[in-house]
């Protein structure tokens, strides 16, 4: 019987991991100064393709973290569940749901580390984005839209104490139109409401009124009256102040809300085309004198005074000011805001 040495390509073929495999252990050398020993860093049991985890598999790390689910090219991808070891030695389920390229993306449930908060909803690139429900450890519940891991868009917030809010949010704060219903524990019902405009999580201007009696709460048949407003043309004063606040906050809200929320994909394409036609040399910015022409490309015809007003709100006043695409789109939104 004769034997021969394996070629390099044959050795690589034997070492290649593809298909289902038994547990593979990964180690590293520690304590080099004392001769060195090897310690296990993590272990994987599952399917492989081209020497990368692909298919279904389980990864366990030395610190107790465990992922069971689907993989693609060595990254969590598809449906899977992640556990983490707790200080008391127990395993806590952190997230179960969809993954994409190693990040939570799709729909899933998160048990927030370091708290009792639980989020069920949509994800994008590892952050809460889309529609979801978060039940907080203090008993409050938020259901609505999210963006970049924050309450953002329309949402409903129920407070443990009974109050209820419905309205708009920007970066975790109430911003824009909203209605707050006030709960009176003694009467076991919402007895008053505030309809108005919110600025940076604070009610800025609106109407505070009594709720109609609730037939299921007998105590509400005897209301606590709010003093009458003794103001000439109260509705007109309120409408004027609301308009002023919305105008004052237009630039702030425009900057803090993504363009994708302001415009449809078709509208954004049209704005991009208008901007590029006004910037034929592809400088990446247009001057103040070119704004009217750029707006005309998308069928807008603002007056010079209107353009000057929104430019000032954006903090870009001056004949030598230049505007990149995002600023041009923000100006377009401020000239034709969506209610």
* Domain-wise residue ranges, the chain: 8-231, 258-335
pLDDT recorded at residue 36: 67
Q: Which residues pair with 66 in a beta bridge?
A: 60, 83
Closest CA to 237 of 227, 229, 228, 249: 229
Q: Percent of the chain scored above 70 by pLDDT?
A: 86
Q: Which residue has the tokens 């809200």?
A: 253
Which of 18-22, 96-100, 305-309 is most confident?
Answer: 96-100
Average pLDDT of the residues in 150-156:
92
**Class of the 258-335 domain?**
mainly alpha
Two tokens at 105?
A: 């993306």
Q: Residue 117 pLDDT > 50, yes or no?
A: yes
pLDDT recorded at residue 338: 41
pLDDT recorded at residue 165: 97
DSSP symbols for 267-321? HHHHHHHHHHHH-TT--S-EEGGGHHHHHHTTT----HHHHHHHHHHTT--STT-
**pTM summary value:** 0.72
Which of 7-16, 79-88, 307-316, 325-334 is most confident?
Answer: 79-88
Backbone angles phi, psi at 324, to 5 degrees: -80, 175
């Amino acid at each position: 019987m004769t034997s021969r040495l394996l070629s390099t390509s044959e050795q690589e073929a034997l070492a290649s991991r593809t298909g289902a495999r038994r547990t593979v252990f990964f180690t590293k050398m520690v304590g080099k100064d004392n001769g060195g020993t090897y310690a296990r860093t993590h272990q994987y049991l599952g399917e492989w393709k081209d020497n990368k985890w692909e298919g279904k598999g389980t990864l366990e790390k030395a610190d107790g973290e465990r992922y069971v689910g689907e993989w693609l090219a060595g990254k969590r991808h598809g449906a899977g569940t992640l556990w983490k070891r707790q200080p008391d030695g127990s395993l806590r389920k952190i997230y179960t749901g969809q993954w994409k390229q190693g990040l939570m993306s799709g729909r899933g449930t998160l048990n927030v580390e370091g708290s009792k908060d639980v989020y069920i909803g949509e994800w994008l690139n590892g952050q809460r984005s889309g529609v979801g429900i978060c039940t907080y450890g203090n008993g409050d519940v938020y259901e609505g839209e999210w963006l970049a891991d924050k309450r953002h868009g329309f949402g409903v917030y129920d407070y443990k104490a009974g109050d209820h809010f419905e309205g708009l949010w920007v970066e975790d704060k109430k911003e824009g139109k909203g209605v707050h219903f006030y709960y009176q524990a003694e009467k076991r019902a919402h007895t008053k409401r505030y309809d108005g405009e919110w600025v940076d999580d604070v009610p800025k201007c609106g109407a505070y009124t009594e709720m109609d009696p609730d037939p299921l709460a007998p105590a509400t048949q005897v209301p606590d009256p709010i003093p009458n407003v003794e103001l000439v043309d109260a509705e007109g004063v309120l409408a004027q102040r609301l308009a002023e606040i919305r105008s004052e906050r237009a630039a702030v809200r425009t900057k803090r809300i993504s363009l994708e929320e302001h415009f449809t994909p078709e509208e954004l394409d049209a704005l991009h085309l208008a901007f590029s036609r006004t910037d034929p040399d592809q400088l990446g910015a247009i001057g103040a004198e070119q704004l009217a022409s750029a707006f005309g490309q998308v069928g807008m015809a603002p007056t010079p005074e209107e353009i000057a007003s929104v430019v000032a709100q954006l903090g870009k006043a001056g004949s030598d000011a230049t505007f990149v695409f995002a600023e041009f789109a923000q100006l377009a939104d401020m000239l034709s805001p969506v209610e």
